[in-house]
C-alpha cells in the first residue's frame, strides 16, 4: 500500500479541477454500485443478461454526462466471440493407482477441451519437482501436475490434468470464450481438479501403474456478441487533443454458482469490480462538467470478460479506438473504496500493479515513475 500523499505531495492541483472533485460524492458512487452489484444483474457473467444490462446502464451514464460515443456502435465496441461449453452428457472421469480411485463429476472440475475425449485406462504420468524438466515423449499419455509448478511441453499428451490447491470460485461453471479472429493454439484437453479427495490422490502418486479413463462429448459452440463500453472526452489543447489517456475498469464478474449449490448463489461483484466501474463513471461525469477540458483527450472504457482472461482489454488492444501510438497512458481502476482489509483499515492508500510494463509519465506539476509496483514522484517540472 502506498499513501496517496506520496503520489501527490509534489503535484499542485490546478484550482480549475476543484469543481470536478467537488461533484463526486459517496452517495453517487454508492447509488451506482448498489445497482451494478444487485441480484438483478446475477453477477454480470460473460456472457449473460446481467452483463448486457450493466453495459446499457454504463452507456446511459456516459450519454447523460454528455460524453462522445467511442465505439463502433454508439457507446459500444462490439466483439464477436465464440462460446465453447463442455458437453458433459455421459461424462466420466476416473483416475486409479494402487487400489485408490478418484471419480469426479463434471461439476467438480474445470474443463477446457476443443474436441471430444475418449480414453480408457491410459497411462497416467505425474510431473513433480523431480521430473518436471525431463524430456520425454508424452504422446498417448495423460499427464498430471500441480498447477503453477514448472512443467515441460506436453503438446502431444492425450490430456493434461492440473491439481489446483487454491481454486478460483465458480471455475467449473464458466464457459470458454474464444475470439475467432485470434488463432487458437493446438493444445491437449485440460482438466483442473481440486478438493481434499483430489489432493489425497495426487499426493499418493508414486511410481508406475496409474491410469486415467475420461469420456467427454464434443463441446457445444455458439457465437455471441460482447461489448466494451467506450466514451470520449475530447481534449482542449489543439496540439494534444489527438493523443489520449485511457481511464478504464472491467465491469464483468463471476456470475452465479450452479443451481445445485447451497446458499446465496450470486457473486455480486461489488468490490471486484463494480467499485472500479462506478469510479470511471463518476470521474467521467465530473470531468465532463469542467468549462475547460483536460488538454489531452480522455477515453473512458469499461471492459467485458476480464475474469475470463482479460478478454475485453485484449480485444481493445487489437482494435484500439485511439491509435496505440497516440495513447499516452492507461490507468485501470480495480477494487476501490473498501476499507475492511485483513491487516487493518486502509484509508487514503493505493496499491499499484503493472509497474514492470510502465515507464515514467508526466502529471500536472511533475513527473511520476511507476517501477517495481512502486510510485515515486521524481521532481517538479515546468515542462
> Average pLDDT of 260-283?
93
Question: What's the rounded Cα separation, in Å, for the pair 62 and 56?
Answer: 10
Task: Say if residue 318 is in the same domain as residue 229.
Answer: yes
E strand or H helix that includes residue 368? strand 366-371
Tell me phi and psi for residue 53, to 5 degrees.
-65, -40
Range of the domain at 262: 14-81+224-346
Q: Considering the domain boundaries, does residue 212 fall inside one?
A: yes
Task: Say if residue 131 is in the same domain as residue 234.
Answer: no
pTM: 0.82
Instruction: For cell 480485444, name the residue.
Output: 315
Task: Say if residue 44 is in the same domain as residue 107.
Answer: no
Among 175, 197, 222, identify where a domain stops: 222
**Residue 162 is part of a domain; what is its CATH number?**
3.50.30.30
The total of other beta-carbon atoms located within 10 Å of residue 28's CB is 15
Range with the poorest average pLDDT among 62-76, 277-291, 330-344: 330-344
Per-residue pLDDT tens digits for 94-142: 999 999 999 999 988 999 999 999 999 999 999 875 555 444 667 789 9
Task: Say if residue 308 is in the same domain as residue 214.
Answer: no
Task: Say if residue 254 is in the same domain as residue 130.
Answer: no
pLDDT at 375 over 90: no
Q: What pLDDT score does 271 carry? A: 93
Question: What's the rounded Cα separation, in Å, for the pair 127 and 144?
Answer: 6
Task: Say if residue 113 is in the same domain as residue 56.
Answer: no
Q: pLDDT-based confidence at 149, cuts 50/70/90?
A: low
What is the domain count for the chain?
Answer: 2
Task: Say if residue 331 is in the same domain as residue 289.
Answer: yes
Task: Say if residue 266 is in the same domain as residue 281.
Answer: yes
Among 175, 195, 222, identify where a domain stops: 222
Task: Say if residue 197 is in the same domain as residue 103.
Answer: yes
Q: Considering the domain boundaries, does residue 125 fall inside one?
A: yes
Q: Considering the domain boundaries, does residue 356 fall inside one?
A: no
Q: Cell numbers of 271, please?
A: 468490490
CA count, 13 A, side-chain hemisphere, 283: 22
Q: Cα angle at 365 between 364 and 368, to 5 degrees?
A: 80
Q: Considering the domain boundaries, does residue 177 fall inside one?
A: yes
Q: Considering the domain boundaries, does residue 369 fall inside one?
A: no
Percent of the chain topping pLDDT 70: 83
Amino acid at each position: 500500500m502506498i499513501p496517496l500523499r506520496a503520489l501527490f505531495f509534489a503535484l499542485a492541483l490546478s484550482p480549475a479541477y476543484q469543481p470536478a472533485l467537488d461533484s463526486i460524492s459517496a452517495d453517487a458512487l454508492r447509488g451506482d454500485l448498489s445497482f451494478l452489484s444487485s441480484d438483478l444483474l446475477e453477477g454480470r457473467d460473460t456472457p449473460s443478461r446481467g452483463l448486457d444490462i450493466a453495459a446499457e446502464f454504463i452507456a446511459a451514464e456516459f450519454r447523460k454526462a454528455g460524453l462522445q460515443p467511442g465505439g463502433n456502435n454508439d457507446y459500444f465496441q462490439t466483439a464477436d466471440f465464440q462460446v465453447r461449453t463442455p458437453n458433459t452428457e455421459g461424462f466420466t472421469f476416473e483416475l486409479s493407482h494402487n487400489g485408490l480411485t478418484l471419480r469426479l463429476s463434471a461439476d467438480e472440475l474445470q474443463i477446457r477441451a476443443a474436441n471430444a475425449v475418449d480414453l480408457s485406462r491410459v497411462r497416467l504420468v505425474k510431473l513433480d519437482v523431480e521430473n518436471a524438466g525431463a524430456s520425454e515423449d508424452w504422446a498417448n499419455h495423460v499427464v498430471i501436475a500441480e498447477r503453477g509448478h514448472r512443467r515441460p511441453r506436453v503438446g502431444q499428451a492425450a490430456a493434461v490434468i492440473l491439481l489446483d490447491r487454491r481454486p478460483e470460485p465458480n471455475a467449473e461453471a464458466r464457459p470458454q470464450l474464444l475470439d475467432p479472429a485470434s488463432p487458437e493454439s493446438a493444445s491437449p484437453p485440460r482438466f483442473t481438479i481440486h478438493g481434499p479427495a483430489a489432493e489425497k490422490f495426487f499426493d499418493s502418486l508414486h511410481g508406475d501403474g496409474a491410469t486415467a479413463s475420461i469420456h467427454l462429448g464434443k463441446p457445444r459452440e455458439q457465437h455471441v456478441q460482447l461489448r466494451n463500453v467506450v466514451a470520449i472526452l475530447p481534449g482542449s489543447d489543439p496540439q494534444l487533443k489527438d493523443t489520449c489517456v485511457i481511464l478504464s475498469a472491467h465491469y464483468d464478474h463471476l456470475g452465479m454458482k450452479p443451481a445445485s449449490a447451497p446458499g446465496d448463489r450470486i457473486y455480486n461483484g461489488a468490490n471486484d469490480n463494480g467499485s472500479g466501474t462506478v469510479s470511471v463513471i463518476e470521474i467521467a461525469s465530473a470531468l465532463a462538467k469542467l468549462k475547460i477540458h483536460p488538454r489531452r483527450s480522455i477515453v473512458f472504457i469499461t471492459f467485458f470478460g476480464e475474469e475470463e482472461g482479460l478478454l475485453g482489454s485484449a480485444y481493445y488492444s487489437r482494435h484500439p479506438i485511439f491509435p496505440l501510438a497516440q495513447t499516452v497512458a492507461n490507468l485501470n481502476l480495480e477494487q476501490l473504496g473498501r476499507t475492511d482489509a485483513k491487516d487493518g483499515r486502509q484509508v487514503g492508500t493505493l496499491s499499484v500493479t503493472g509497474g514492470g510494463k510502465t515507464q515514467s509519465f508526466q502529471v500536472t506539476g511533475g513527473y511520476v515513475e511507476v517501477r517495481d509496483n512502486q510510485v515515486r514522484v521524481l521532481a517538479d517540472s515546468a515542462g
